Amino acid sequence: MKKALIMLLVVALLAGVFGLAPVRAGEGVTIQMTIGSTKAYVNSKEVILDQPPIIENSRTLVPFRFIGEAIGAQVSWDASKKAVGYVFGDMNITLTIGSTTAIVNGVKNKLDVAPKILSGRTVVPVRFISETIGAKVDWNGKTRMVTITSSGKPVLSFKSKAEYTMQVNVGPAFGWGMGAQKWADLVKENTGGLINIKPYFGSALLAGKQTNWFQAVSEGSIDFVMDSTINASAVIKSLNLFSLPFFINTYENVDKIENGNSGKQIVSDMEKLGVITLAWGENGFRQLTNSKKPITKPSDMNGLKFRVVGTPIFVDIFHALGADAVSMNWGDAVTAFQQGAVDGQENPYGVLLPVKIWEYHKYLSNWSYVIDPLIVGVSKTTWDTFPNYIKKAIQDAAIEAAEWEKAYVRRGLDGFTSINILKNKFNDVPEVLDQMGYVRHQGVQIVDLTPEQRQAFIDATKSVYDKWIPIIGQNIYDLAKKDIGQ
Ligand code: X2X
C-alpha cells in the first residue's frame, strides 16, 4: 500500500518534470495540437513535442507516444514488428509502420494514412486513435489546430448478436445480390467472425413486399440493407429525385449527386428516420423492354401494359407517356412476364441479364430514363449498439463492396472505366463484359433513341416535373442541378 503510494508520487513528480500531467483512464482530458508546432496542450498545460504534427492525405499525424499517454492509454512499441500498441480500458489497438490496416481487438480497420517514421520519430493518425477510443475530434482549419476531447472512460466490452439481418430485394445471382453478399463476407472477415450479417434475398423478411424495407430498417426490425432507392421513395420523398424522367443522364452526374449537397440532404432525410447510409450502390439506368414491338416514340406505348414498382411516380410517368402501368412486386413480376399478364417492364441491364429477359421480351429501348441507386445502410437502432471500431470495420466493408458492385453493374456500359476498376482493384474479370451485346446476342432487338426521339419522351413527361418537384422539394432539385453544373 505504502509502496504503491510512493510509486504514484514518483510518477507524478516525473510527469511534472516532463511537463505531462498523467491522465488515467477514467479522467476527462482535452488535448490541443497545431500543425507544424511543437507546442501542445494537455488540459491547458503546455507540453513540448519532439516532432510537430503534420498533415498527409488530409489526415493529421502526431507523435505516437504523446497522444497515447495524453489520452491515458498504456503505450508500447514493438521494434521487431515496427508496431505501436495502445491499451485503453478493454481496448487493444495496434498500428504498424507503413500499413493502412489497424487492428482493434482483433478487428481490421482501414486507415487513410499509414503510421510512419519522421526523422526518427513515429507518428500516427490522431483522428483514428481518438475516435477509436470514443473521443471527439475537432479541426479548426483557420488555426490548423486539432482538439481532442475524451471523457477518459474506457469503452465497455461489446457483445454481438449471433446474426444480423440484411434486406435485399433481388436474388444472390444479381450483381446487386453479389454486392450484398460481398459486404457481409468482408464484414465477417474484417471482424474475425464477430459480426455475422445474413442477407435475406428476394425481400424474404418482408414477404416479398419490397417497398416496405425503409419502414422495417427504420424501426430496427431489420438491421442492414442493400436496396433500391425506388423501393424507399414512397416514404422518403426526396429519393424521387433519381426517378425524375430524363433528369440524371450520365454516370458522372449520378456520382456527383450522390457525393454532392443534394445527396447529403437525401442521406440526412433518411437518417432523421433512423436509416444510416454507409455507401451508395447501384441498380443502374433503367431500360424499357416489351414483347410486342420496338418503341421509339411515346405513342408506341399506347395500349401496352407495363409492370412498374409500386411507388407512385412510376405510374405517373407511364400514364404521361400514354401507357398502362401495373404496380407489382419483383417477386410476382417474372411470373407476369412469363404468363404475358403484362406486355413490358423497365429494369437495368444488371437485372435484365440474370432474369434472362430475352425469354419473355424481344424488344428493348435504351432510354435510360431514370437511375436507380442502392442504399447500403444500417438501422440506427443497430448502429448505436456498436463501438467505433466495429462501425469502422462495417463502413470500410460497405464502401469496398459498393465500389465493386457499382463497377460490376456498370461494366461495359461506361467504356472501360468499370471493367478496369474490376480488373485492377478487385482482380475480377467477369465472364460477360459487354452486357448490352450479350442481350442483343440472345435475339433482343435493341433500339437506341436519336436525340430527336429522346426529346419526344422528355416533352411527354414534363407534367411529372410539375407534380413531383414540389413533393421532392424545390431545394433538393436546385441543389442537384448545382451538383451537376446545370
Ligand atoms: O422491382 C424492381 O424492378 C427492382 C428489382 O429493380 C427493384 O427492386 C427496384
pLDDT, one tens digit per residue, over 102-141 is: 999 999 999 999 999 998 999 999 999 999 999 999 999 9
State the Cα–Cα distance between residues 77 and 64, nearest whole angstrom: 9
Q: How far is the CA of 346 from the centre of ligand 1 (A)?
A: 9
Residue 2 pLDDT more than 60? no
The region that residue 120 occupies, defined by phi over 0 for left and psi between -120 and 50 for alpha, beta otherwise, is left
Q: Does the global pTM surpass 0.85?
A: yes
pLDDT, one tens digit per residue, over 427-485 is: 999 999 999 999 999 999 999 999 999 999 999 999 999 999 999 999 999 999 999 99
State the Cα–Cα distance between residues 135 and 151, nearest whole angstrom: 7
Rounded to the nearest 5 percent, the helix, strand and coil shares of the chain are 40, 25, 35
Q: Measure the CA angle with vertex 239, ends 233 and 240; round to 5°.
A: 75
State the Cα–Cα distance between residues 53 and 59, nearest whole angstrom: 10
| Model pLDDT, residue 458 | 98
| Model pLDDT, residue 23 | 47
Q: Which atom of ligand 1 is nearest to the CA of 170?
A: 5
| Averaged confidence pLDDT in the chain | 94
Q: Which atom of ligand 1 is nearest to the CA of 348?
A: 6
Cβ atoms of residues 443 and 364 within 8 Å? no
CB-CB neighbours of 106 under 10 Å: 13
- Is 225 a pocket residue for ligand 1 (Cβ < 6 Å)? no
DSSP 361: -
Residue 4 pLDDT more than 70? no
- Is 287 a pocket residue for ligand 1 (Cβ < 6 Å)? no
| Model pLDDT, residue 335 | 96
Residue 484 CA: distances (Å) to CA of 254, 260, 386: 8, 9, 36
State the Cα–Cα distance between residues 300 and 59, nearest whole angstrom: 56
Cα-trace Rg, the chain: 27
Q: How far is the CA of 339 from the centre of ligand 1 (A)?
A: 19
State the Cα–Cα distance between residues 442 and 456, nearest whole angstrom: 29
Phi, psi of 447 (to 5 degrees): -105, 125
Cβ atoms of residues 372 and 242 within 8 Å? yes
* 374-382: average pLDDT: 98
- Is 347 a pocket residue for ligand 1 (Cβ < 6 Å)? yes
Domains by residue range for the chain, with CATH: 22-150 (3.30.457.10), 164-283+378-422+474-483 (3.40.190.170)
| Model pLDDT, residue 164 | 98
- Is 283 a pocket residue for ligand 1 (Cβ < 6 Å)? yes
Lowest mean pLDDT among 1-15, 267-281, 288-302, 303-317: 1-15
Residue 16 pLDDT more than 80? no
Concatenating the DSSP letter of every residue in 394-436 gives HHHHHHHHHHHHHHHHHTTTBTBHHHHHHHHHH----S-S-HH
Residue 171 CA: distances (Å) to CA of 167, 179, 230, 356: 11, 11, 17, 13
State the Cα–Cα distance between residues 6 and 360, nearest whole angstrom: 85
CA-proximal residue: ligand 1, atom 6 (nearest): 347
| Model pLDDT, residue 155 | 64
pLDDT, one tens digit per residue, over 207-236 is: 999 999 999 999 999 999 999 999 999 999
Helices marked H in 90-220 — which ranges? 126-132, 175-190, 213-219
pLDDT, one tens digit per residue, over 241-263 is: 999 999 999 999 999 999 999 99
- Is 351 a pocket residue for ligand 1 (Cβ < 6 Å)? yes
Q: Which atom of ligand 1 is nearest to the CA of 227?
A: 8
- Is 228 a pocket residue for ligand 1 (Cβ < 6 Å)? yes
pLDDT, one tens digit per residue, over 286-344 is: 999 999 999 999 999 999 999 999 999 999 999 999 999 999 999 999 999 999 999 99
CA-proximal residue: ligand 1, atom 2 (nearest): 330
From 239, 248, 235, select the one nearest 266 (Cα to Cα).
Answer: 239
